[in-house]
Chains A and B, each alone.
Chain A
Amino acid sequence: MSRIAAKFAALKAEGRGALVTYLQGFDPDRETSLALLRGLPEAGADLLEVGVPFTDPMADGPSIQRAAQRALKVGATLPGVLELVRAFRAGDGTTPVILMGYYNPILAYGVDRFCTDAAAAGVDGLIVVDVPPEEAGEIEPQARAAGLDLIRLVAPTTDDARLPRVLAATSGFVYYVSITGITGTRSATAASLEEAVPRIRKHTDLPIAIGFGIRTPQQAGEAARLADGAVVGTALVDTLAASLDEEGRARPETVGLVLEQVRALAGAVRGR
């Protein structure tokens, strides 16, 4: 069983949903980023999304755009992010790691080689924002051959006619983008989520994680109960950004502040 499937199965047995965290790799530098990754599981994160910095993050709001700029400024690259995951994996054999990003850096790396190297580095799944099911042929065969899950986004605009097609192209879990919009801008209403999750469930047995717009422990707790997981990204990136010095460098308290927030989110997801 893949790490992702194993994690969701274990959480199901525990009777709770997952806390999925998103941070951009190399934000604000490699060492801080690695310290964060290492601290996240203990702070209560169940699955880790690592954003791959890209100059033109089409689906991201200002916070994550700035995170990408900070990471690129310290020399982040896709090979660098793979190395970061390898370093994390050396000390953690079970927490699933998902790379989230855009297609062009993968294309520049070489799709075949990237999938092989990512799996070898300890990556479990990929979210490639700008490769919809219509373009699946670009990366699906290679990801499958390497044993990587290809996690697809389902949006409020994905109607019932289209849903089966998107879900058929998905493995690992389904990422429900709860708003029509970019990351970090607004939040979905509980009512819209209560309608959306059963609509997706009708078409799939895969776990469903809700993302985009989840900021508070309360929202995370609700989403994790309603679906199978809650993804928190921008709220963590904002905490990280607020902790930096004027030059955008980490301060001694940066890692601790982010992990403290993760603990609060994890508590809510665990119903505490």
Chain B
Amino acid sequence: MNKPLPNSYRQGPDSQGRFGQFGGRFVAETLMPLILEVEQAYEAAKRDPSFDAEWRRLLTHYVGRPSPLWFAERLTAHLRANSAREDLGAKVYFKRDELNHTGAHKINAVLGQILLAKRMGKTRIIAETGAGQHGVATATVCALFDLPCTVFMGATDVERQQPNVFRMKLLGAEVMPVTSGAATLKDAMNEALRYWVANVEDTYYCIGTVAGPHPYPVMVRDFQSVIGEEAKQQMMAAEGRLPDSLVAAIGGGSNAMGLFYPFLDDADVRMYGVEAAGHGVETEQHAASLTKGRPGVLHGNRTYLLQDAHGQITEAHSISAGLDYPGVGPEHSWLHELGRVQYVSATDDEALAAFQLCSKLEGIIPALEPAHALAHVIRMAPQLPRDEIVLMNLCGRGDKDIFTVAKHLGVEM
């Protein structure tokens, strides 16, 4: 009874917040008591059926879950036409989290975290954001619950994600542009942590991915796992079996963990996390922490990081603001070292091509983040047997990206 399965990949983290050597709680003493408080509150909330019921009510009636499982028929046909043989070209499905209210998967975990913040009696919410999707989701839920909200966003991202900046302001949030470093997601997270240290009494920090100090990686994963749980049931209903491959983009890794986690112990399901290769992983301009980084400690956890020989963190680059981060959630580092998940990458150009192909073939304009996942599907599916199934997390829609994409395509708007 309750004995851990010897071969389960779903046991982590341990009581110290470790997935193998990864994870942990590397924060300054001022924050440590608060991190412990969040952990206790989360453990208590998990055991409280009314917490789960309220979260699920909001997912159904506010977010619009379950998100559909979509057989991408035209894309599948297109990739089959590009395959070398008659018997190649796997069937491609999308898990359509881009249809969620606010346009991405981020809101799944935001709702859970804001409900937790309320339980903890916190009266003010802060968040970091890259693409602005997590910022918009947080601002949205704060509007719903009448909580003041401050979103930290790198000045570079404020520039390239203007529509989301305006959305956050419309929703009543304060957007704080961060100018330190390269002024992107890493710097926004530094600044959010600094603000939190100074406002521990009343403030809850709503982290947007499976990173940060324990319990954030496990908590955000648990909330995002609704994606994989639904997908598993939907796939059984549609095909009577599990998919052969899962594919998801990796920024911090929350949409990927959410899809992968419920399948981790299904040995026949292969998994691919797609990092942003920017201008190419052989250049200095990419965000492929697992492909090119080394383990280190940043933002409260031990994980793979882009860093120089002396442990200084190097700047990431990606066309996608949501993937432009030099680290990755610790559970991914662990799954990478165990070899349970394959981590690959896609360049800016490959993502742009996938973005356009998806728009034309499926009538779905994807966000640039899942466009990276799609780029890998486009490479992979034509090589796979025709009777295989590939399930990709289409975790966000591309409205926020049309200006960026137009600029790259040389279109004046």
**A-to-B contact residues, CB < 8 Å:** 53-62, 65, 72, 77-79, 102-109, 129-135, 152-159, 162, 166, 177, 179-182, 185
Contacts and interface: CB of A to CB of B under 8 A. Distances in A.
B12 interface: no
B217 to A, nearest CB: 15
A81 to B, nearest CB: 10
A65 to B, nearest CB: 6
B33 interface: yes
Contacts of A56: 181, 186, 190, 298-299, 313
Interface stretch (B21-29, B90-98, B283-291): B21-29
Nearest to A132: B32
A59 B198 CA distance: 10
B310 A182 contact: no
B interface: dominant SS: mixed
A134 B16 contact: yes
B32 A134 contact: yes
A102 to B, nearest CB: 8
Contacts of A72: 312
A132 B198 contact: no
Contacts of B27: 58, 130, 132
B194 A61 contact: yes
Nearest to A179: B198
A78 B311 contact: yes
B25 A106 contact: no
Nearest to A152: B29
B41 interface: no
A166 B197 contact: no
29 contacts: A53-B312, A54-B311, A55-B181, A55-B313, A56-B181, A56-B299, A58-B299, A59-B30, A60-B194, A79-B310, A104-B298, A104-B311, A104-B312, A108-B309, A109-B311, A130-B26, A130-B27, A130-B28, A132-B25, A132-B28, A132-B32, A153-B28, A157-B29, A157-B31, A158-B33, A180-B197, A180-B199, A182-B198, A185-B198
Nearest to A137: B16
Contact of B194 (A59, A108, A162, A177): A59
A86 B298 CA distance: 28
Contacts of B181: 55-56
B197 to A, nearest CB: 6
Contacts, number: 122
Contacts of B30: 59, 153, 155-157, 177, 180-181
Given A180-B200, A181-B197, A78 B310 contact: yes
A176 to B, nearest CB: 10
Interface residues of B, number: 37
A134 B14 CA distance: 13
Contacts of A109: 310-311
Given A56-B298, A157-B200, A106 B311 contact: yes
A157 B83 CA distance: 61
Nearest to A185: B198
Contacts of B193: 58
B352 interface: no
B38 interface: no
Given A109-B310, A153-B29, A181-B198, 15 more contacts: A58-B190, A59-B197, A65-B180, A104-B296, A106-B311, A107-B296, A109-B311, A130-B27, A132-B27, A132-B32, A134-B25, A157-B30, A162-B32, A166-B29, A177-B29
Contacts of A130: 26-28, 297, 300
B207 interface: no
A160 B99 CA distance: 48
B348 to A, nearest CB: 24
Nearest to B308: A108
Contact of B26 (A135, A152, A153, A182): A135
A157 B311 contact: no
B29 A58 contact: no
B218 interface: no
Among the interface residues A53, A58, A159, which one has the most CB atoms of the partner chain B within 10 A?
Answer: A58
Contacts of A102: 297
Nearest to B309: A108
A158 B29 contact: yes
B34 interface: yes
Nearest to B17: A134
B213 to A, nearest CB: 9
Interface in B31-47: 31-34
B200 A108 contact: no
Interface in B178-200: 180-181, 186, 190, 193-194, 197-200
B126 to A, nearest CB: 14
A266 B23 CA distance: 43
